[in-house]
Amino acid sequence: MLIENCSIFSRKGIKKGSISIENNVIGRIGKALKKGRDEERIDVNGRLVLPGMVCAHTHTYSAFAFAFPAKDKSEDLEGILKNLWWQLDQCLDRETVYWSAVLTSRRYLRNGVTTLIDHHASPNALRGSLSTLAEGFKKFGIRSCLSYEVTDRYGEKKAREAIRENERFAREFGGGRKDEMFSALFGLHASFTLSSETLQKCFEIANKLDVGFHLHLAEGKVDVTDALKRFKKPLIQHLMNEGILNKKTLAAHCVNLNKKDLQLLKKTNAKVITNPRSNANNGVGMMPLDGMLREGITVGIGNDGLGYDMIEETKALQCMHSLSAKRPSVLSSEILNEILFLNNSKIASSLFKKKVGEISEGAYADLVIMDVKPFDNKLNLMNLDTSLVDSVIVDGGWKIKNKKFVFGLEESEKEIERVAKRIRKKRLQF
C-alpha cells in the first residue's frame, strides 16, 4: 500500500511525504516513492497522518459499566471501588469478558486508538480470561498488552490463581512471542490490597519470566497510609524493597507522591501513567507532573477505563493543570505531544517486537488519517478532535476507511445489547 501526499506527524514535527506499507510494517517514508506492482495507492490530499494512538493504562472490563450504575454514593476512592468496580468485576463471566473486548475495540478504533495496555479483573471468570480478552481484541484487530490484577481482597486461593493467569499468558504471549498483536505484563492491583508474601511470589515469577509489572500506585491516600501502617515504610520504599519497581514497571496514577518519593521513583527507572479524567472523577487529585518532568521520569497517559478518546484525555490533562495553576495553557504543545505520542510510543514499543505508535521505517503500520490539513509543521492537540478521524490502519490493514468500518457491525451490536441486559440484571440482584 502506498499513501501519498500526506502531512506526516513525526518527532520533528509535521512534514510532507508519502508512506509505503509492506506487509504489516512501514516500509519507506519519502517525497517521491514509486508505486509497486499491484500496490494499492491512496492520495490523502495533504491531510494529517498520525501514528495510531496508544492508551497506556485502561480497564477493558469496565466496558459495560453503563449498564451497571453504582448503587450508593461514594465519599472517596475506596468507596467507589467497593460500590462499583469491585462489584462489576465479580459479575463478569467469560462471555462478558469477550464482548467487553469487542465493544472496547470498536470504540477505540473509532477514536484512532490502535494499541491498549490493559489491566484486567474478573475474579469469577479468572482462568483463561486474558486469552478470552485477546480473542475479543482479535475480532476487530486491535493491538494489546494484557495483564491480570493480583489482589488479596478475594483470598489466597484467588490470588494464587491470578498469579498463575499472569504467568500462563506471559509465557505464551510475552513480547509478541506467539502473535505480534499481543504482549504481556504482570498485573498487580495496588499495594494496599496486597500482602508482602503475595508480592514476593509475584516478584519471583515475574523475575524468572523477565516481564514487567503493571500496577496502580498512590492513586488514593489509602495506598500511602496503608504502607506506613502495615509495613512501617513509605510506599515507594516498600515497593522498591519488594522488587516491584524497576525499568520494566508501569505505575498508573502516581497522584499522592511527594518530592522524596519522586526522587526514589526516578532511581527505579519505572514509567508512570497519568489518567487525568479518572483522577478528577474520583476526586483523588493530580499527578505531580512538574516534579515528574523535572526528575526526568517517563510520563505516559491512559484513561483508567473512563472513555475511549486519547486526544480528549490529553486535553483534560492540559485543562486540569491550567486550572490548578490558574494560568492558561500551562503545558506546552511540545509537552502534550511528548506525553501522548512520544512517551506512549516508547512505553508500548518496549513491550512488542517492533516500534509501536510512531511513523518510522520498520515500525508497525498503525496509522490514523485525519480529515484536516495542517497550516504549518506544528501539531496543536488542543485544536484537534476525534470527529476528524477519517481512516484507521492497524498492522497494515484497513479497520476504518472513509469513516466507515470495513467489517460489519450488526452482529456485534446485537450481542453487545444482549450482554448489557444480562449485566443489568445481575446488577439488580447484587
Q: DSSP of 26-75, one letter per residue?
A: EEEEESSPPPPTT--EEE-TT-EEEEPEEEEEE-GGGGGGGGS--SS--S
Q: Which three-class secondary structure state does DSSP give residue 315?
A: helix
Listing DSSP states for 140-209 in one string gives HT-EEEEEE-B-STT-HHHHHHHHHHHHHHHHHHGGGSS-TTEEE-EEEEEGGG--HHHHHHHHHHHHHH
Phi, psi of 190 (to 5 degrees): -160, 160
What pLDDT does residue 405 have? 94
Domains of the chain: 70-349 (3.20.20.140)
Query: pLDDT tens, 241-279?
Result: 999 999 999 999 999 999 999 999 999 999 999 999 999
- What's the whole-model pTM score? 0.96
What pLDDT does residue 428 have? 67
Query: pLDDT tens, 135-147?
Result: 999 999 999 999 9
Q: What is the DSSP letter of 364?
A: B
Closest CA to 54 of 356, 319, 286: 356
Positions of the chain with pLDDT under 70: 37-38, 428-430
What pLDDT does residue 150 have? 99
Query: pLDDT tens, 166-188?
Result: 999 999 999 888 999 999 999 99
What pLDDT does residue 37 have? 67
What pLDDT does residue 252 have? 99
Closest CA to 255 of 217, 226, 222: 217
